[in-house]
Structure 1
Amino acid sequence: MKKNKIAACLLLLCGTLWAQQGANQKNYSAKGKQVTVYTTADSINLRISKTGNLTFAASKQPLETEISIFVEPQKTFQSILGIGGAITDASAEVFAKLTPADQKEFLNAYYDKDKGIGYSIIRTNIHSCDFSSGSYTYIKEGDKSLKSFTVDHDKKFRIPLIKQALKAAGNTTTVYVSPWSPPAFMKDSKNMLKGGKLLPEYYQTWADYYVKFIKAYEKEGIPVWGLSVQNEPMATQTWESCIYTAEDERDFLKNFLGPTIRKELGDKKIIVWDHNRDLMNQRANVIFSDPEAAKYAWGMGFHWYETWAGGKPMFQNVQKVAQAYPDKNLMFTEGCVEQYDAAKLQYWPNGERYGESLINDFNNGTTGWTDWNVLLDEKGGPNHVGNFCFAPLHADTKTGKLIYTPSYYYIGHFSKFVQPEAKLVSSAVSRSQLLSASFINKDGKMATVVMNTSDKKVTYNLIIGTEKVVNTIPAHGIQTLVY
């Protein structure tokens, strides 16, 4: 009997905690509130442009013939860590070729909350990746003691750009780091490129390497929030890559990386997987079901390249991990439009790919969202293995001109208006022409992002409780409504 009473009390306590998590304490009301509408649309000269001022008015039962977005601010979900992109060697090398005026434009465009789109996350690579001008490490090859460790290579381009980006963002940015491959001598393939595996005798040495890197960057004035275990651990790439099965990653985290980071650096956040949505559920099951490994994992990172096999994005897998492991966080850690083609710099579906992913990923439980390179040149590089890709901003290094692509504006509809520590809010759309996600910022302001995937303009209701506004979104457009 006593046990039953205890169990009942625990259930009541859990129910209360869930209710508190799902409720916004401010009891938001839309009555009489003004709505500012910002719009970006294909074939119209609108790029995060202010296109309307609306006022909420009384709402009656909507008809089935109307398209409506229903928002319930009292029901909130995960906190938003931020939105941003990666500062790679390639981005930093291109940045260094710009004039001081163009460099300032670039920094404002990404990191200034008023003049630009207010990025709040930076990812960077631990020694070389494909978007470096060549392969390199921070030690002399074969140095098992790591005595030769130095980040001097990064002091020429990458560290200066990260520091300028942090300053432009007001030093409130979350920085995390990811490795693409251990040094060649630590791998069974003796090659940083084309896969291979970390040799067990170097597990501790490699864990120590992460620590040295993070300490070196922090000594340079770059605070590091966290790290991922390995970029794309199931992909044998032509560039820097290293393979970990789920069990390999679990055991490396549990026995080496986790304890080493905890002992040397304290509460740095460790992200597992850092690969596509397709296999993320299996990786989560193996690592998060092991209590000794799970205690070191802040959460799971994922990419969007599962479409390489010809299918559609597996957004539902993100939701399934969130449901199965609600105590773990989800972070989108990389995505870009592959196969660079200069003729497609203004190709509108590239931007829509970003909008679709951002909306679905946040609605499915994601807390942070990180694009790949923040800047590339007019050839989609530099890249030492010919893996040229798109970025939201490109620089024509011959003219110095910055090229803004549709992707920049689609990301901006989120990053400019959804601040760190915002919360996702319950919302739903009544028709499939529109996609939408809603957020409430720490200051109490709401931001609803609406995306029109159809070839026709759409008039829709935004309904909050007994209040609504009616708005129109252009074909293939995206809007943010702030209220």
Structure 2
Amino acid sequence: MLVHSVFTAFALFGTVWAQQIWDIWETAYDQSVLFQRQSLSEAINFVSPGGIGQADIVVNDGSVYQDIDGFGATLTDSSAQVLSNLKNQNSGAYWNLLGSLFNPADGAASAALSMIRVPLGASDFSASVYSYNDQQDTSLSEFSLDVAPGYLWSTLSDIQSVAGGNLKILVVPWSAPGWMTDSGTMLGGTFLSQYTDTFAQYLLKSVQGFASKGFSVYNIAIQNEPENSNPTLPSMLLDPDTEAQIASQLRSLLDNNGFGNTKIVAWDHNWDQAAYYPVQAINDAPNAFTGASFHCYAGNVQDQMSFYDAEPNYELYFTECSGTLGSDWWSDIKWNMENLVIGSLTYYSRSVLLWNLALDGNGNPKLPGADSCTNPGCRGVVTVNSDGSYNLNQEYYFLAHGSRAIVPKDSGGPFGQRIGVSIGGSLDYELQVGAYKTGRSAASGTDWNRYSLVVMNWNDGDGGGPVQTTIEFRGQQATYSFPVGVTTLWWFAEN
């Protein structure tokens, strides 16, 4: 209906009236509106430009940057466990929740998340410590994904059934099998380089195992947080040269076994080392890696540019950050919009993923004895309650605003790309803005792209309030008043 209205307008009035804003989603800073589609009595037209508003957003679709792969979170064993428990207790609530998280249908009131990260073996959010081959055997004869809890695979299958072809699965080990480390355990230690070839085989078998269960691996990182060794949880140290050697072996194995499209990424650790470890690893094995991935726990988002400037031909992913229990809702939204949803993409990331997809209200269950996510605990994107209900947390809402801006308009169509945007005007400092272009599928029968803005008005203090804003696009101008909170809106225009 909305697309038909746009095309009708174009036929009757020409390109000036063709560019119309119909779709607006808002989340208010005071939670009075939560990712709610706004009802418009009439479209907001792009017209001949006049004076600018208090802020002036200038969209430049002549500057096209990276493709965006999507938004998502990590399906830890714990996340799968609480979701599986919900399914058993209240099946209707479970499927409603998965729909709210992953339904990709255009215009649906869902976050349309399209990326899931899965640990290869145990993490600090598992019931026990395990790898896929705990038996010390370089032939990996005991290798099996079925040592992971069955609810991990059933939940992932349910997610895939809802998300469909949009879902991209990322995998990464928290540690190699313990016998490949100098501690003899997965609980901290240093990887033993004598097992470089064996670990590459282990990772290949992991990708093959996922495929045998019906899951295509989009990308694989060699090691989660390779500069973190913690004796209370699965972790290990891995230097960049050895990571590169493993990646080189793995690249050949993947290519020779029908997985040439599976990407290999370096680092998967904090922003603060962006100019060092991942650059060294990629320089050691430039043909093995597709790019590098980053976490939020040290450094800042601008550090991503250190990697991009050093390796502009390689991809960049953001793959982990966690909410904490008891934190302020609006403060969390502001930080994550500025640094992740808008900020990370501005600094060339193709993704924004958070830590646990789902946990209980106490940030559990966790690996017994693990000292991570304590005082306060970690919060999932959603909280699953013991009474068979669930809560959508602040993480859900900021992910939804980013995701809805870049998911395909058409089934099977392309994801969005970041495009150029700048802000002027007397109140330009009150807005954070990202701009995106989403192409159309061949089956849609049109070359009209969707152009989206994700806008945060952060100023809830004295003197704050809605910002009357002009939006400049291809010599035309629209006007919208952005309330304090987060807004995602879009329009259509010819390619």
**TM-score, with length taken from structure 2:** 0.84
1:273 aligns with 2:267: yes
Preserved contact between residue 451 and residue 479 of structure 1 (Cα < 8 Å): yes
Q: Which residue of 1 aligns with 2:8?
A: none
| Contact kept in structure 2, 1:180 and 1:241, CA below 8 Å | yes
CA distance in 1, matches of 2:261, 2:490: 35
Is the contact between residue 77 and residue 149 of structure 2 (CA under 8 Å) also seen in structure 1?
no
- Provide the residue aligned with 2:297 in structure 1: 305
Deviation at 1:439, TM superposition (A): 0.5
What is the Cα deviation at residue 167 of structure 1? 0.9
Mapped pair 1:157 → 2:151: yes
Cα distance in 1, alignment partners of residues 305 and 67 from structure 2: 15
Asked if the contact 1:32–1:57 (Cα under 8 Å) also holds between the matched residues in 2, the reply is no
* Equivalent pair of 1:120/1:173 in contact (CA under 8 Å): yes
Deviation at 1:155, TM superposition (A): 5.3
**How far apart, CA to CA, are the structure 1 residues paired with 2:121 and 2:45?**
52
Take 1:285 and 1:214, find their aligned partners in 2: how far apart are those partners? 25
Question: Secondary structure of 1:300's partner?
Answer: strand
Deviation at 1:168, TM superposition (A): 0.2
CA–CA distance in structure 2, aligned partners of residues 37 and 252 of structure 1? 47
The corresponding residue for 2:379 is 390
Q: Which residue of 2 aligns with 1:104?
A: 95
Report deviation, 1:267: 3.2
What letter matches 1:263 in structure 2?
N
Shift of 1:76: 1.0
Residue in structure 2 matched with residue 38 of structure 1 by the alignment? 25
Is the Cα contact below 8 Å between 2:405 and 2:416 reproduced in 1?
no
- Counterpart Cα distance in 2 of 1:154 and 1:247: 30
Are positions 1:366 and 2:349 aligned together?
yes
Tell me how large the CA RMSD over aligned residues is. 2.0
Aligned to 1:463: 472
1:413 CA displacement: 0.6
Residue pairs, 1:373-452, within 5 angstroms: 373-384=356-367, 385-386=370-371, 387=373, 388-396=377-385, 398-419=386-407, 420-430=414-424, 431-443=428-440, 444-452=449-457
Structure 1 pair 465–266 and aligned structure 2 pair: CA distance change class (3 A)? closer
User: For the residues of structure 2 that align with 1:50 and 1:96, how far apart are their CA atoms?
Assistant: 30
**How many Å apart are 1:145 and its aligned residue?**
2.2
Q: Give the Å deviation of 1:30.
A: 6.7
* 1:332 alignment partner in structure 2: 318
Q: Which amino acid aligns with 1:93?
A: Q
- Measure how far apart 1:32 and its partner are: 4.3
Paired residues for 1:232-311 under 5 Å: 232-237=225-230, 238-254=232-248, 256-264=249-257, 265-290=259-284, 293-306=285-298
Q: Counterpart of 1:452 in structure 2: which amino acid?
A: N
8 Å contact 1:30–1:464 — kept in the other structure? no
Please name the residue that 1:58 is paired with: 48
- Specify the alignment match of 2:63 in structure 1: 75
Return the alpha-carbon distance in structure 2 between the equivalents of residues 367 and 403 of structure 1.
28
Distance in structure 1 (CA, Å) of the matches to 2:392 and 2:218: 29
Match of 2:307 among 290, 309, 321: 321
Q: Distance in 1 between matches of 2:262 and 2:355?
A: 22
Q: Mapping of 1:189-204 within 5 angstroms?
A: 189-194=183-188, 196-204=189-197
CA distance in 2, matches of 1:391, 1:132: 14
Match of 1:480 among 474, 488, 494: 488
Could you say if the C-alpha distance between residues 464 and 336 of structure 1 is closer, same or farther in structure 2, counting changes exceeding 3 Å? Answer: same
Match of 1:453 in 2: 458
Q: Which runs of 5+ in 2 are unaligned?
A: 1-14, 408-413, 441-448
Which letter does structure 2 place at the counterpart of 1:366? Answer: S
Count of residue pairs the alignment pairs up: 438
Q: Deviations over 1:345-372 (max 9, x none)?
A: x622222232121101111111122222
Task: Please state how far the C-alpha of 1:453 moved relative to its aligned partner.
Answer: 1.6
Q: How far off is 1:299 after superposition?
A: 0.7
Kindly state the Cα deviation for residue 245 of structure 1 after the two structures are TM-superposed: 2.4
Q: Deviations over 1:326-352 (max 9, x none)?
A: 2100111111124x34xx4x6222222
Give the letter for the 2:98 counterpart.
L
| Counterpart position of 1:92 | 80
Q: CA deviation at 1:395?
A: 0.6
For residue 426 of structure 1, report the CA deviation from its aligned partner.
Answer: 0.2
CA apart distance, 1:31: 5.0
- What displacement does 1:448 show? 0.3
For the structure 1 residues 472 and 62, does the alpha-carbon distance in structure 2 shift closer, same or farther, using more than 3 Å as the test? Answer: closer
Check whether the contact 2:405–2:454 (CA below 8 A) recurs between aligned residues. Answer: no
Residues 434 and 30 of structure 1: CA distance in aligned 2, closer, same or farther (over 3 Å):
farther
1:231 Cα deviation (Å)?
Answer: 0.4
- Counterpart amino acid of residue 54 in structure 1: I
| 8 Å Cα contact 2:76-2:119 kept in structure 1 | yes
- Note the alpha carbon deviations across 1:165-191, whole angstroms, 9 max, x for none: 111012331112000001111101112
- Deviations, residues 6-45 of structure 1 (Å, cap 9, x unaligned): xxxxxxxxxxxxxxxxxxxxxxx77542213211012242
Q: Cα distance, 1:108 vs. partner?
A: 0.3
